[in-house]
Structure 1
């Protein structure tokens, strides 16, 4: 049974490269992100967005270094974007799959940088500890995906080619993620720092459609790559955003008496 499953999976995936770094990062990314999702559900939030100061009173007394939300969010995504940009120069001359993967990673983080600069509106600060942890996670994931793809570039491709499906899924999901970020930004007028119940798009079904589309974008990247590491990162990211969206819905229910109870957290009609 186990060997049959192994053979089935590798009709869709490259054999893992002989790299201790990539192997270790596959396990670390999955465990770290899944644990972060569990921590969110338990109330130990990464300190950004509406949860930036969601701590117990005893913890609030501890002096923590804060940065503005704009600067903090920019620091989350800029290193990973630069890693994607530099990779075109560091690893030239690879095939189409490598080009699509690098382009998807670079475009994903470029979109996030542009949203930080021109779309998002901010209401608070970020704890520097959280900025460092998230930024390092994104940077290492981008570097590992690119290096991993470099290692398998000359290896025989899997029998089933998913790179075109993956790139289309990535582009459509990125557009959906951007659209719902835009709707969130439109909720606030100039200098408005309060929260409102989001409306429009898929907000009528789930409170975090932007998270859903972010997961699907990483599924698209995994399909482009067809290697083990991106799938591990995507599974870990899914667990984290499940926890984050669960807490977001719980937060809205506690703050707004008229929050519609049929609006789910992340997956329409289900969760």
Structure 2
């Protein structure tokens, strides 16, 4: 529990520190925010770490993120199933036990946390599909290898977070309330539907051979510049509503911190790139607020 939560707090701290430190800010940019002249530029002290060779295509990075999440979360679900019947942890859960105190009683399947793990699996399947079949990445869209490493680290923590505090493997207290499942699953479905729809809208903007960026319209793009980020926050908030655990809410705080910062940068990029964009009256990511 403490290891996973500490990992999220560390990423949250690094996320906000990157706002004020140029070299970290440069590393954290990806996609259109890291394309073109930004790659490889900067002060002399930054050039080595900001070298173009340390950037990979965003298409590769996102496929790597979600393929890793799908594989890792699938393995965890298999291990949880085995643990619930045999009482013996396998490889990954055995490592988790080394850092967190195991149950004194027979491990059981905790329905709320198990639901989060299953929904995360559906999320991973959809995102892998979108990365391969829906997204149309620009040829100049890049991300620093530190973004790739951070993404993989996050999805390790995200997959582990339902298994702690108290989690699937160790339900420390009885969980008789089933009502959080209903609003949580509804939130997940709403977030997933709108994120998929917004990803399709973005993909349709790049149907030409040059795959240039344009101003998206439709669905939640009418009110915010980055509704796909808003949807992602809603998806992870749904996990917290279902599980009612502190670790899951810290996970939401990380997702919100990362995407609000990236959403604000993207919003300012739209304003700079497209004259008259501000007249659309959109916020960056949170309707009517940010």
Question: Per the shorter chain, which TM-score range?
Answer: 0.7 to 0.9
User: What is residue 87 of structure 2 aligned with on the other side?
Assistant: none
- Which residue in the other structure is 2:155 paired with? 138
For residues 204 and 161 of structure 1, the distance between their equivalents in structure 2, rounded to whole angstroms, comes to: 33
The alignment of Structure 1 onto Structure 2 pairs a total of residues equal to: 250
1:213–1:128 Cα change, 3 Å = same
| C-alpha contact 1:41 1:244 (8 A) present in aligned 2 | no
Q: Structure 2: where are the runs of 5+ without partners?
A: 85-108
Question: Do residues 28 (structure 1) and 18 (structure 2) align?
Answer: no
Judged with a 3 Å threshold, the aligned counterparts in structure 2 of structure 1 residues 222 and 126 are, in CA distance, closer, same or farther, namely same
Contact 2:134 2:203 in 1 (8 A): yes
1:51 corresponds to which residue? 33
Match of 1:167 in 2: 185
Relative to structure 2, which stretch is displaced further, 231-240 or 136-145? 136-145
Residue from 242, 245, 250 that aligns with 1:227: 245
CA distance in 1 between partners of 2:181 and 2:170 (Å): 14
CA distance in structure 1 between the partners assigned to 2:148 and 2:200 by the alignment: 23
- Where does residue 269 of structure 2 map in the other structure? 251
Q: In the TM superposition, what are the counterparts of 1:1-271 in structure 2 within 5 Å?
A: 22-33=1-12, 35-37=14-16, 39-40=18-19, 44-45=25-26, 46-53=28-35, 54=38, 56-58=41-43, 59=46, 62-63=50-51, 64-92=53-81, 93=84, 94-123=109-138, 124-148=141-165, 149-153=167-171, 155-157=173-175, 161-261=179-279, 262-271=281-290
Per mean C-alpha deviation after superposition, the further-off stretch among 91-100 and 81-90 is 91-100
Structure 2 Cα separation of the partners of residues 138 and 265 of structure 1: 25
Deviations 1:73-122 (A, max 9, x none): 11111112112211221011424324311211111122111111011111
SS in 1 for 2:277: coil
Give the SS at the match of 1:194: coil
Shift of 1:253: 0.8
What SS class does the counterpart of residue 150 from structure 1 fall into? coil
Unaligned stretches of 5+ residues in structure 1: 1-21
Indicate conservation of the 8 Å contact 2:7/2:157, yes or no.
Answer: no
| More RCO (CA 8 Å, sep 6+) | 1
Deviation at residue 191 of structure 1 after TM alignment: 2.2
- Give the 3-state SS of the residue equivalent to 2:211 in structure 1: coil
SS of corresponding position for 2:225? coil
Give the structure 2 partner of residue 13 of structure 1: none
